[in-house]
Structure 1
Amino acid sequence: MRPVDPERDPTAVWKVECPTRPSRMPGVRMAGFRDNGTGLAAAGHRVVPHPDVTLFLEFGARAPLMEDTAGRQRRESLLAGPGLGSGGALWVRGEDLECVQVRLSPPVAGVVLGVSPGDLDGAPVPVEDLWGREAARIRERLSEAATWGERFALTDALLARRYDEAARRSRSADSAVDPEVAWAWHRIVAGHGLIRVDALAAEVGWSRKRLWARFHAQIGLPPKRAATLVRFDHAAHLLTAGEPAARVAADAGFADQSHLHRDVMAFAGVTPTAVAGEPWLTVDDLAWPNGGASSESPARPGRTDPG
């Protein structure tokens, strides 16, 4: 780990809190954020894409402003699918910000949140559009909670209740995640994106075409794009940890350093050198100490008809 640069020190920007116990649901993690009023938060943070589904539950004195390069702005709690901010096209700005951020593995996100990652279409969606008045009640309860421990417990209870309600209902096949898709996602994450789609299809006993269609519909990305995003995320965190770009390119499975440069630019909108200091990434070791994308370990599905 490289020495901390005071200008890049995430603790100078954010007060970060982590739960003392894991979520009761697999594939769900959360962290709490409060800006320290340094002015950097007001200047803005570039959103660096992540493989998980992300839920932002804001409750501070001022709602954060999320703005894209086209000038579209949102100020509310938001839900976004894998790869939010691809191309460096999204920024978060504001002062006096407080929020609980939840990361959900895509195979479990649809059940927990009530919307499939495949329906999010890469853009952030206001939580109020999905949950109605419940979104305002959540914000109020988070604001009234005296401690972060209470906020994490409230959030976990909310997500667990929604999960249980979905499990009690007879959900249609279109809203469920196939075991084969969940297995393929797990293999992509476990291998840091270094696995071929035809190999995944062979493992689950499906045709490549069927895996592509079902995975894309249920996860929100085609499998090759998902693998590329997971590989980028792994490489970006190696860069943030101070590893030289040439070594990262070799260790993360890129053809060469130019290949790494192209992928980092495509996802983050900046060079590998610049992405290593992005506050959105430098805070990850504090907020998500286990590192990597959320991943449950489903049982390997049995072989089915090729389809």
Structure 2
Amino acid sequence: MAGFRDRDGGPVDMRVVPHPAVTVVLEFGAGPLAVDAAAGRQQYRDLVAGFGHGAVRVRGENVECVEVRLSPVAAYAVLGTSPAELDHIVVALEDLWGQEAAQIRQQLVEAASWQERFALAEAALARRSVTGAAVDREVAWAWDRIVADRGRVRIEELAAEIGWSRKRLWSRFRSQIGLPPKRAAKLVRFDHAVHRLALGESAARIAADSGYVDQSHLHRDVLAFTGVTPATCAGDTGLAVDGIAYAEYGALPLRLSRLAPPAMALHL
């Protein structure tokens, strides 16, 4: 969780780099966010973005928002729908939460500090996580293993350790997490690699450390997820922001079972 404010009130224009989380943006500034995606431009007060959003740009003026990156294990309960229903799309939070989304937005407007806003957002997420449907214990374990191993684990090994067939793991994981396990591992591995690129590390070294066959395979993944080359992606504004806003927590998404104090408010 992180807070963002446009310092000068001028326009914000950022390309979204995919990461292994479902993104919830609670905007409480002066105007809506304009999201350019494959389906065209839409305006949102609050939004939810699924995994496959590499071609998305977000624009706005006088932006103030709380951004939450939810593990898909938590998102399944919190959002009231499987992340599979959000694949490659951006939706209004109101479509999932109804009137509660507007109520939370008003509370954020009236809050006196960022810490109060973080507490309000956290309370809303935690409240919904208690009443929402939980993913299978085996699916949650498999996701945590993929994240812990930075996407380098073999799916056959996961299925064997759980005691499921590969087909059963694929089916349950896809329906509850939102991605097939192999695709999820690929996204986690990409996320780790691309943040190292943003730190200025060598692409060849990153490829070797991250389990890619060679540098060309890293290049191919970056191009597939973002539409740009590793060199271009390394200078992306969004990745630079990640290194500040989420510095204490790395790139890991939020699991409500182990909430940490939210990140600081970041002035852009």
TM-score in terms of structure 1 length: 0.79
- Does the 8 Å CA contact 1:66/1:91 hold for their aligned counterparts? yes
- Does the 8 Å CA contact 2:126/2:256 hold for their aligned counterparts? no
Q: Which residue of 1 aligns with 2:135?
A: 177
> Of the candidates 170, 173, 180, which is equivalent to residue 215 of structure 1?
173
Q: Is 2:128 the partner of 1:162?
A: yes
How far apart are 1:297 and its partner, in Å?
A: 11
108-117 vs 254-263, greater mean Cα deviation: 108-117
Tell me the amino acid that sits aligned with residue 143 of structure 1.
V
Q: Describe the SS at the equivalent of 1:103.
A: strand
> Of the candidates 53, 77, 85, which is equivalent to residue 22 of structure 2?
53
Q: Which residue of 1 aligns with 2:107?
A: 141
Q: For 1:252 and 1:213, how far apart are their aligned partners in 2?
A: 27
127-136 vs 216-225, greater mean Cα deviation: 127-136
Q: Which structure would you say has the larger Rg?
A: 1
Query: Closer, same or farther in 2 for the Cα pair 1:228/1:195, shift >3 Å?
Result: same
Aligned counterparts, 1:258-273, within 5 A: 258-273=216-231
How far apart are 1:96 and its partner, in Å?
A: 0.5
User: Percent of pairs identical after alignment?
Assistant: 60
Tell me the amino acid that sits aligned with residue 144 of structure 2.
H
Q: Which residue of 2 aligns with 1:248?
A: 206
Aligned counterparts, 1:283-294, within 5 A: 283-289=241-247, 290-294=249-253
- Does the 8 Å CA contact 1:84/1:124 hold for their aligned counterparts? no
Q: Is 2:43 the partner of 1:74?
A: yes
Tell me the amino acid that sits aligned with residue 114 of structure 1.
G
Q: Which residue of 1 aligns with 2:67?
A: 101
Q: Which residue of 2 aligns with 1:92?
A: 58
Q: For 1:160 and 1:293, how far apart are their aligned partners in 2?
A: 18
Q: For 1:96 and 1:238, how far apart are their aligned partners in 2?
A: 31
TM-score in terms of structure 2 length: 0.90
Q: For 1:140 and 1:54, how far apart are their aligned partners in 2?
A: 20
Q: For 1:145 and 1:54, how far apart are their aligned partners in 2?
A: 22
How far apart are 1:116 and its partner, in Å?
A: 1.8
Aligned pair count reads 256
Query: Closer, same or farther in 2 for the Cα pair 1:295/1:187, shift >3 Å?
Result: farther
Q: Deviations over 1:260-293 (max 9, x none)?
A: 1110000011111111111111111211122022
> Of the candidates 189, 195, 202, which is equivalent to residue 237 of structure 1?
195
Q: Deviations over 1:6-31 (max 9, x none)?
A: xxxxxxxxxxxxxxxxxxxxxxxx10
Tell me the amino acid that sits aligned with residue 149 of structure 2.
G
How far apart are 1:68 and its partner, in Å?
A: 1.2
How far apart are 1:112 and its partner, in Å?
A: 2.1
Q: Describe the SS at the equivalent of 1:239.
A: helix
Q: For 1:33 and 1:105, how far apart are their aligned partners in 2?
A: 20
- Does the 8 Å CA contact 1:52/1:106 hold for their aligned counterparts? yes
Q: For 2:256 and 2:163, how far apart are their aligned partners in 1?
A: 18
Q: Which residue of 1 aligns with 2:238?
A: 280
190-199 vs 112-121, greater mean Cα deviation: 112-121
Residue segments in structure 1 that go unaligned for 5+ positions in a row = 1-29, 167-174, 299-307
Query: Closer, same or farther in 2 for the Cα pair 1:216/1:63, shift >3 Å?
Result: same
- Does the 8 Å CA contact 1:37/1:95 hold for their aligned counterparts? no
